[in-house]
Chain A
Amino acid sequence: QVQLQESGPGLVKPSETLSLTCTVSGGSISSQYWSWIRQPPGKGLEWIGYSYYSGSTNYNPYLKSRVTISVDTSKNQFSLKLTSVTAADTAVYYCARGGHSPYDWWGQGTQVTVSS
């Protein structure tokens, strides 16, 4: 079965860039859409955006100016970069397989805290 695992710093300073990687195992990253979703403390899930393996992307308009999602097929990984972070970006970040579709595989999530 497909497994996804998020990795990256758990603490990011305000105004800096949050960078996370999702490693896909048990299946190819090719010919699929890959997404990032987050859940701030005490709040619901928020869709960040997705990328097709070939590079076309679709982002949440509320985050679009700060988000980049990219896919590295050679490493079977995809990544999230979120610039100019504030405390409001503190959340559990999930990666998932799927785009404009059901998300059939998810990572277990990684906590990212924005604090100086």
Chain B
Amino acid sequence: DIQMTQSPSSLSASVGDRVTITCRASQSIGDYLNWYQHKPGKAPRLLIFAASSLQGGAPSRFSGSGSGTEFTLTISSLQPEDFATYFCQQSYSTPITFGPGTKVDLK
């Protein structure tokens, strides 16, 4: 199975901050990496697919980069509605696996 890790596990930030989250895969997954936003009690939301493609409807302040085993999600200017948990997912091979999540809260 491909293991996914994320760092940091949590971070505190202020509105307007630039935020970067890292996701690592235990083996190369090409660009088969997706990022989601999840708020408590809500459906998770796809933000980025194929490592760097912005999902329709996702704000342009979200961007993704990377390939192989290391990936990043960047929020260019954190907005109040961005406080949430972010997790990555590899869709390269089954079993599909997810990162443990990064919780972004208010400093």
CB pair A45–B87 under 8 Å, yes or no, is: yes
Q: Which residue of A is nearest B87, CB measured?
A: A45
Q: From residue 55 to 112 of chain A, which have CB atoms closer than 8 A to chain B?
A: 58, 60-62, 94, 96, 98, 100-109
> Please, how many angstroms separate the alpha-carbon atoms of A39 and B96 in the complex?
14
CB pair B95–A62 under 8 Å, yes or no, is: yes
Contact partners of B45 in chain A: CB under 8 A = 106
Interface size for B (C-beta < 8 A) is: 22
> Please, how many angstroms separate the alpha-carbon atoms of A60 and B100 in the complex?
18
Contact partners of B94 in chain A: CB under 8 A = 47, 58, 60, 100
Q: From residue 35 to 67 of chain B, which have CB atoms closer than 8 A to chain A?
A: 36, 41-46, 49-50, 55
> Please, how many angstroms separate the alpha-carbon atoms of A47 and B100 in the complex?
13
Q: A103 and B89 in contact (CB under 8 A), knowing A44-B98, A60-B95?
A: yes
State whether the Cβ of A24 lies closer than 8 Å to any Cβ in chain B. Answer: no
Could you show 5 A-B contacts with beta carbons less than 8 Å apart?
Answer: A37-B98, A60-B94, A60-B95, A102-B55, A103-B46
